[in-house]
Structure 1
Amino acid sequence: MTRNKSFKQRVRARMDRTGESYSSARAHLLARADGAPASASLTRSDTASEGVRAGAGHTASTAAMDTRIPDGSVRERTGRDYAGWFALLDAWGATGRTHTEIAAWLVQEHDVPDWWAQTVTVAYEQARGLRVPGQKKDGFAVSASKTVDVPVERLFAAFTEADRRERWLPGGDLSVRTATEPRRLTADFGHAGRLTVRFTAKGESRAVVAFEHSKLADAEAAEAAKAFWRQRLARLKDLLEKEGT
Structure 2
Amino acid sequence: TKEIVMPKQKDFKRVVRSRMEKTGESYTAARLQLVRKKEADFAKLAGMSDASVKKATGRTWTEWVKTLDEVRAADKPHREIARYVSSTGTPDWWSQMVTVGYERIRGLRDKGQRRGGGYEAHKSKTFAVPVKKLFAAFAKMDFDVRSATPNKRMRLAWDDGTTVEVMFTSKGVQKSAVEVTHQKLPDKSAAEKMKAWWGERLNALAESF
What TM-score bracket applies, with the shorter chain setting the length?
0.5 to 0.7
What are structure 2's unaligned runs of at least 5 residues?
A: 26-68, 77-98
Structure 1 length-normalised TM: 0.46
Q: 1:80: Cα distance to partner? A: 2.7
Which secondary structure does the structure 2 equivalent of 1:75 belong to? coil
Note if contact 1:138-1:215 (Cα within 8 Å) is conserved in structure 2: no
Change (3 A) 1:201 1:77: farther
Q: 1:159: Cα distance to partner? A: 1.9
Letter aligned with residue 12 of structure 2: R
Change (3 A) 1:206 1:112: closer
Query: Counting helix residues as a fraction of each chain, which structure ranks higher?
Result: 1
Q: 1:121: Cα distance to partner? A: 7.3
Q: 1:85: Cα distance to partner? A: 4.2
Name the CA distance, whole Å, in 1 between partners of 2:150 and 2:113. 30
1:135 maps to 2:67: no
Name the CA distance, whole Å, in 1 between partners of 2:128 and 2:21. 52
- Cross-structure match for 1:116: 74
Letter aligned with residue 139 of structure 2: T
- Cross-structure match for 1:206: 175
What are structure 1's unaligned runs of at least 5 residues?
A: 1-70, 98-110, 167-173, 241-245
Note if contact 1:78-1:113 (Cα within 8 Å) is conserved in structure 2: no
- Cross-structure match for 1:100: none
Deviations 1:168-197 (A, max 9, x none): xxxxxx211110101111111221621111
Which structure would you say has the larger RCO, counting Cα contacts within 8 Å and 6 or more residues apart? 1
Change (3 A) 1:140 1:196: same
The alignment covers a number of residue pairs equal to 138
- Cross-structure match for 1:195: 164
- Cross-structure match for 1:158: 137
Name the CA distance, whole Å, in 1 between partners of 2:198 and 2:22. 36
Name the CA distance, whole Å, in 2 between partners of 1:151 and 1:159. 13
Change (3 A) 1:94 1:215: closer
Note if contact 2:104-2:110 (Cα within 8 Å) is conserved in structure 1: no
Q: How does 1:25-44 map onto structure 2 within 5 Å?
A: none
- Cross-structure match for 1:75: 7
Change (3 A) 1:179 1:96: same
Name the CA distance, whole Å, in 1 between partners of 2:147 and 2:9. 36
- Cross-structure match for 1:147: 126
- Cross-structure match for 2:147: 178
* Larger Rg over CA atoms: 1
Which secondary structure does the structure 2 equivalent of 1:202 belong to? strand
Letter aligned with residue 182 of structure 1: N
Supply the RMSD in Å over aligned alpha carbons.
3.5
Change (3 A) 1:207 1:223: same
Change (3 A) 1:195 1:221: same
Structure 2 length-normalised TM: 0.53
1:233 maps to 2:205: no
